[in-house]
Amino acid sequence: MTTTPKCILACIDGSELSNSVIDYAIWLAQNSQLNLKFVHTIEHSHTSEIAHKEGNLLPNMTENLLSELSDEERAKSKILIAEGKLILQAAMDKAVQAGLTNIIVKQRHGKLSEVLQDLKAEYALAVLGARGENHAGENQGLGSQLEAAIRAIHSPVFIVKGDFKTPTSLLFAYNGSPTSKKALDVLKQVSFLNNDLAIHVVAVQKTVEQGQALIDEALTLLAESHFTNVTGKALVGEIIEQLIQYQQQNKIDVTAMGAFSHGQLHGFFFGSFTTKMLLESKTNFLLSR
């Protein structure tokens, strides 16, 4: 019995970042030779445009109102489906123009996190925009569904934060934690990144000696990978500040790291390191859980 190879899954919604998600997904599919699948989700959070009626309603009035609401919901759903089909067709056309042939498009109903969970057996990597259609005109911030989407799956996730630019450098933030070790393992094995990508392994610790020990460990493991341009740097100081500064000084395109190692309750009270990095960094991200 043969199994279908896993694909690159790109989640698109017609937002300002959607075109960049398509471009990065095409780039990742070209590097990996995996099939490319575009998914558009429709979340039914419909708010009626029919004016609310106050006071008591007679039975026949209630029945008529429910009928109007049902008709309105169906009409709105048809519009969303039609718009989604146009978004998917435009993505497919762009992938075909880029020379890809194994392209799948799919429309799903439900929250993004639910769709990612349902399709988890089908993809090796999910590609998401940092902001969705509800954040039109915003250059910063994160989409309301992003954290839930990342937490919903255990496959690597590529987060797109800006216009497409062929990546030439990647910062791998390593601290020796279980999620960081998993991210390192993912980086060793992935086929969807260019072999000639410059890999910067960075460890921020209390002392240079502690950081260098982690760098040596990571470099030893990455020596088994397909990457040929790998360097390491041990830094001391506040972690996010040091990583952001390194990103800027070295013109990093992608930051790879473990994501959401603590539970949601911890993040609620203390804030999430992953969320803070996503908010403050301008790079794209390759996250592993």
Name the percent of the chain lying above pLDDT 70: 80
Mean pLDDT estimate for the chain: 84
Q: What is the pLDDT of residue 59?
A: 54
Strands 157-160 and 230-236, by their bridges, are unpaired
Residues 17, 43 contacting (CB under 8 angstroms): no
Within 13 A of 45's CA, how many CA atoms are on the CB side? 6
Q: What is the pLDDT of residue 46?
A: 46
At position 37, the amino acid (one-letter code) is: K
Q: Which CATH number is 165-288 given? A: 3.40.50.620
Residues 186, 157 contacting (CB under 8 angstroms): no
Q: What is the pLDDT of residue 81?
A: 85
pLDDT tens column, 33-89: 899 999 999 876 544 444 444 445 445 555 555 565 566 677 777 888 889 899 999
Q: What is the pLDDT of residue 85?
A: 92
Which pTM was predicted?
Answer: 0.84
Q: Report the CATH fold assignment for 7-45+80-151.
A: Rossmann fold (3.40.50)
Query: Would you say residue 116 has pLDDT above 60?
Result: yes
Lowest mean pLDDT among 46-55, 192-201, 223-232, 275-284: 46-55
DSSP state of 244: H
pLDDT confidence of 15, banded at 50, 70, 90?
Answer: confident
Where are the domain boundaries for CATH 3.40.50.620 in the chain? 7-45+80-151, 165-288
The helix (run of H) or strand (run of E) holding residue 220 is helix 208-222
Distance (Å, rounded) from C-alpha 235 to C-alpha 204? Answer: 5
